[in-house]
Amino acid sequence: MDTSSRYQYLNVEHRPSGVAIVTLNRPEILNAINWDMHSELEQVFVDLDHDKLVKAIVLTGAGRAFCSGGDQKSIDNGDLPSPTRGGRHLIRNMLEVEVPIVAAVNGAAVGLGATLALFCDMIYATPTARFADTHVNAGVVAGDGGAVIWPLLLGPIRARHYLMTGDFVNADEALAMGMINKIVESDRLLEAAVEYAELLASGPRDAIVWTKYCVNKITKQYTHLLLDTSTALETITFNSAERREAVASFAEKRKRFGDSHK
């Protein structure tokens, strides 16, 4: 069963095995997320969580990237959401999905894209996959979940470096630091992620769901502690002089903060 027609920017495929594959589908701009796509991402996790036929989920991107983060044109031309609503609802909805979510990171996962990947329960990635939270390079606070998940995965010392510089983590580094589970060649990535999701889907549902629930209590605790504050501060910095300078530098292809560290 294919429910892609429900969404404009997402493809959702339901396999007979009980695995649902969600594909971010704006490959022409590396799956950058505009406000409408953001709303669809909030909703798709609610829809799948209520679908009793879904036993596991795979999240991936169309084309050569997983997700390049927020669509800057959409951010600058559209109305900003309330200081806490958008990011809070997306992360909360991901965390409330009962069944396992497996990320298949097929390229760059940047900003909100990295947040989406790292909030999944398991992460498979290609050898060329890269992760970065580049909010600071755009003159804004790392507030869409990065301030929650990077310290949780890497510890505060490492996380501060990556969040304050926007440096990239390649697949080998990510595996060594415990950010991801496995590196898979690009031509087998989706197949391998689906196979793993099918393994989980074939297991005892209640035992798997409640084990995930127990482990996710840790993530939820940090989310409740940090997410509202970081998203509110991110929204404030959208209107800052540093943000305007970062946008101008990007448009004019001038050197920006962090460029020499990537």
CATH of the domain at 31: 3.90.226.10
Structural domain includes residue 82:
yes
pLDDT at 126: 98
> pLDDT tens digit string along 222-243?
999 999 999 889 989 988 898 8
pLDDT at 105: 98
- pLDDT of residue 114 exceeding 80: yes
Structural domain includes residue 232:
no
Structural domain includes residue 218:
no
Structural domain includes residue 130:
yes
Q: Structurally, how many domains does the chain consist of? A: 1
- Whole-model pTM: value is 0.92
- pLDDT of residue 256 exceeding 90: no
Sign of CA dihedral 58, 126, 11, 94: positive
Structural domain includes residue 60:
yes
pLDDT at 172: 98
List residues bridging with 121 in a β-sheet: none
| Containing structural domain, residue 91 | 4-186
Q: What is the mean pLDDT of residues 203-224?
A: 97
Structural domain includes residue 225:
no
Structure tokens at 147: 């301030």
pLDDT at 243: 83
Q: Cα separation of 66 and 80, whole Å?
A: 24
Structural domain includes residue 11:
yes
- pLDDT of residue 134 exceeding 80: yes
Which one has a higher pLDDT value, 262 or 112? 112
For the chain, what is the mean pLDDT? 91
DSSP characters over 83-105: TTHHHHHHHHHHHH--S-EEEEE
> pLDDT tens digit string along 138-185?
999 998 899 999 999 999 999 999 999 999 999 999 999 999 999 999
Structural domain includes residue 174:
yes
